[in-house]
Amino acid sequence: MQGLAPSSKLSLTIVVVVLLLGMAGAAHGLTRVVASSPDEPCMNMTLYYHNILYNGNNTANAAAAAATKPTALATTYWKNSTFFGTLIVFNDPVTVGKALPLTGEEPAARAQGFYFYDKRESLTSWFGFSIVFNSTAHKGTLNLVGADLMGDATRDFSVVGGTGDFFMARGVATIRTDAIEGLYYFRQQMDIKLYECYVWL
């Protein structure tokens, strides 16, 4: 990631100072914390997203399924498996380690949302989803959107907001494909860094 330009660094500093001045009168409450450098997020975590796609007979495990048929464009001229226009809806497990949760065990969080394939010539997709936390460690959501340029080693999604423990959070999630098993399973590592956090003082 590139460093912020000096002018934006300055404006971030000003924002923090103005906020601190604004907070000076309040004895307690929510305080907005803004990172002063891309290397110093106000919160970070690494999570694994397991996409377990319905393959026709894994009804017990599948947590994602195609919600559209391939478009006519994808089945006529652009026939090379780029799935243009196919939309996948998912409610997939998200874990702290790489392993899938054991049967009956609740994952650290769930990723709920969709992705669709959006390029004729090659495989790329676009994601919009919430990471829903409902564990003793975290309760709340982080909401992510972004282009998954699958040819790149890492891709960045925007964390556009959050709720609960992640009230009003914003940041960047760097995505890396960690495993692909056939057509119906892939695992992505998500390095989530929040640059704007609200904390109770």
Ligand X SMILES: *[C@@H]1O[C@H](CO)[C@@H](O)[C@H](O)[C@H]1NC(C)=O
Is 8 or 81 the residue whose CB approaches ligand X more closely?
81
Is 156 or 191 the residue whose CB approaches ligand X more closely?
191
CB of 139 to ligand X, least distance (A): 8
CB of 60 to ligand X, least distance (A): 12
Spell out a b/e string for 11-48, using b for 16 or more CB atoms within 10 Å of the CB, else e.
ebeeeeeeeeeeeeeeeeeeebbebeeeeebbbebebb
CB of 161 to ligand X, least distance (A): 19
Distance CA 147, CA 117 (A): 10
The DSSP letter of residue 56 is S
184: number of Cβ within 10 Å: 16
Is 178 or 191 the residue whose CB approaches ligand X more closely?
191
| 13: phi then psi, degrees, rounded to nearest 5 | -60, -45
CB of 182 to ligand X, least distance (A): 8
Is 78 or 126 the residue whose CB approaches ligand X more closely?
78
Which residues make up the interface to ligand X (CB under 6 A)? 44-46, 55-57, 77-78, 80, 121-122, 134, 191
Contact of 127 with 155, CB cutoff 8 Å: no
